[in-house]
Amino acid sequence: MLEEDMEVAIKVVVVGNGAVGKSSMIQRYCKGIFTKDYKKTIGVDFLERQIVVNGEDVRLLLWDTAGQEEFDAITKAYYRGAQACVLVFSTTDRESFQSIETWKEKVEAEVGDVPTVLVQNKIDLLEETVIKNEEAEALAKRLKLRFYRASVKEDLNVTEGVFNTSSSNVCNQNSSNGREVITLRPNKQRTKKSKNPFGSCSLL
């Protein structure tokens, strides 16, 4: 196989309580659509999008995991091999905010400390907020996570924020919140072994 034929795939897991907008976020990013209907994810789902990082084609594999605890045993198995994680809570759901640390621990238990971002979704509903800005910022700081406020509905910060900016700002990225340069783990899903096209880069 020629070097040009090689493919790089990066697995990202999106986690958080039920109904915070995980499926919507992935759909917005991969299909450019938003639906008002709530269809609970059963177990896991998966979508992908081709992106370019540092001139290299990359397949971003986005794993949509169920937020309901009843699916924990199933979803856990799908965290394995994840190279990055997106933690989501909703502006209108305090419990989802309070569960973030637990979600982080669940992912960490399977994959260790992978590059992770924190997302407050549904900021179009800011007038109904049950979480103070300072609280969310303090959590991000305490957990040393890059923090985005987003609205999947209004397409705010999803494409340019959570996914695109994150993946294009991967190289030699110094986070302002204490994280040092985040290094992309060797990609097990690559179809052929070669030099890492990212150098010391990360997805998120």
Site track for ligand GTP across 13-32, x = CB under 6 A: -----xxxxxxx--------
The reply on whether position 124 binds ligand GTP by CB under 6 A is: yes
The reply on whether position 152 binds ligand GTP by CB under 6 A is: yes
Residue given tokens 């640390």 in the structure block: 101
The reply on whether position 67 binds ligand GTP by CB under 6 A is: yes
Count the neighbouring beta carbons within 10 Å of the beta carbon of residue 180.
8
The reply on whether position 106 binds ligand GTP by CB under 6 A is: no
Residue 171's SS3 state is: strand
The reply on whether position 202 binds ligand GTP by CB under 6 A is: no
Q: Is 92 exposed, middle or buried (0-12, 13-18, 19+ CB in 10 A)?
A: middle
Contact 13, 82 (CB under 8 A): yes
The reply on whether position 85 binds ligand GTP by CB under 6 A is: no
Q: What angle do CA 184, 167, 131 make, to 5 degrees?
A: 105
CA-wise closest residue to 181 among 172, 193, 169: 172
The reply on whether position 100 binds ligand GTP by CB under 6 A is: no
The reply on whether position 38 binds ligand GTP by CB under 6 A is: yes
- Count of residues touching ligand GTP (by CB under 6 A): 24
Contact positions vs ligand GTP (CB under 6 A): 18-24, 35-41, 66-68, 121-122, 124-125, 151-153
